[in-house]
Amino acid sequence: MSKTAALILAGGKTTPEMREAAGGVANRALVSFNGRTMLDYVVTAVRGGLPGHNDAGRILVAGDVPTPAGCEAVPGGTSLVDTLLNGVSALGPDETRLLVATSDIPFLTVEAVRDFVEQTATTPAAFYYPIVRAEVCAARFPDMRRTTLRIAEGTFTGGNLALLDPAFLRRREATLRAAYARRKSVTALARMLGPGLLLRLVVSRLHPRALAIPHLEAAVSRLLGGAAVRAVISPFAEVGADVDRPEDVVLARAYLEKPADTG
C-alpha cells in the first residue's frame, strides 16, 4: 500500500546575529521557545498531519541535530538537491510520496499539514508547493515580514512545505542539479524559465492579471524538465511563517511564549 513519508530539513546554520538572539545555538532547528526546539514543533505537526495508520510513512530528519524520538536520521548533503536525494534513497518501495518541510516553522500545525497533504490528492503532479494569501499572513502574524508576489489571483507568499514524487526526483536528478546550479544566475534562470514568463513578470507590476498561477506552474515545470507542477493555496498562515532572522526570533518568542489566558 502506498505511503507518504516526510523529510524534515534541519541543516540550517544560524548567522552570528541570529545566534546571539537565539541563545547561542548554531543550528536554527535547535532554537527553543517554551522549552521546545523549532524542530520539535515541526515534527509534532508533521506527525499529526501525515495520512493516518494505513498509509503513513516514516519521518526522516536530515541535519546535524539529535534525532527526535520516533524519527530516523538521514545524512545532510552539501546542497539541497543532495539532501533531498539522501532522503529519497532512504525510502522504501511503498513510500511513494515525500512531504518535505523546513525545520524553522515552529507555528506549523497538524491542521495545516493535513490540509496541504489532502489538497495534493485532488490533481496528480510530481511537485506540489503551498502558497498563502498575503492578507491571511498579515492577519495571523501582522509583525512578521514576508516576500510577496502580486498575480491575477491575488497577492501571495510562498510556504515552507513541498510534496514530491520520489520517482520524479530519481529520474530527474541531472535536471534538478542543473537548475540548482543556475539558481544564482539571473541570465541562466531566465533561459530555463523562458522569456514569456519574464515578460509577464515585468508587465504584472502594472497589470497583475498578466501573470497567473498556471503561468508560474508552467514555468517551473519547464525548469524541472517537464514534470507536472501544482501550486496549492493554503488557508493557513503558519505554513509561510519561518524564523530565519534575529527579529523573527524575537517575534516568535512573543507569539509562542505568551502567558496563558487566565481570564
Tell whether 45 is covered by a domain: yes
Per-chain mean pLDDT for the chain: 88
pTM for this entry: 0.90
Tell whether 58 is covered by a domain: yes
Q: Would you say residue 263 has pLDDT above 50?
A: no
How far apart CA 68 and CA 39 sit, in angstroms, is 8
| Count of domains for the chain | 1
Question: Structural domain of residue 188, as residue ranges?
Answer: 3-256
Tell whether 141 is covered by a domain: yes
Report pLDDT digits (tens) over 187-214. 666 666 677 776 777 787 778 888 899 9
Q: Would you say residue 262 has pLDDT above 80?
A: no
Cα dihedral 225, 101, 49, 261, rounded to 10, equals -140
Q: Would you say residue 130 has pLDDT above 70?
A: yes
Q: Would you say residue 164 has pLDDT above 90?
A: yes
- Give me Rg for the CA atoms of the chain: 19
Look at residue 30 in the predicted model and tell me its pLDDT. 92
76 closest CA partner among 28, 26, 11, 25: 11
The CATH number covering residue 202 comes to 3.90.550.10
Tell whether 93 is covered by a domain: yes
How far apart CA 70 and CA 33 sit, in angstroms, is 21
Query: 95 φ, ψ to 5°?
Result: -95, 90
Cβ 42 vs Cβ 133: under 8 Å = no
Report pLDDT digits (tens) over 61-81. 998 899 999 999 999 888 889
Tell whether 262 is covered by a domain: no
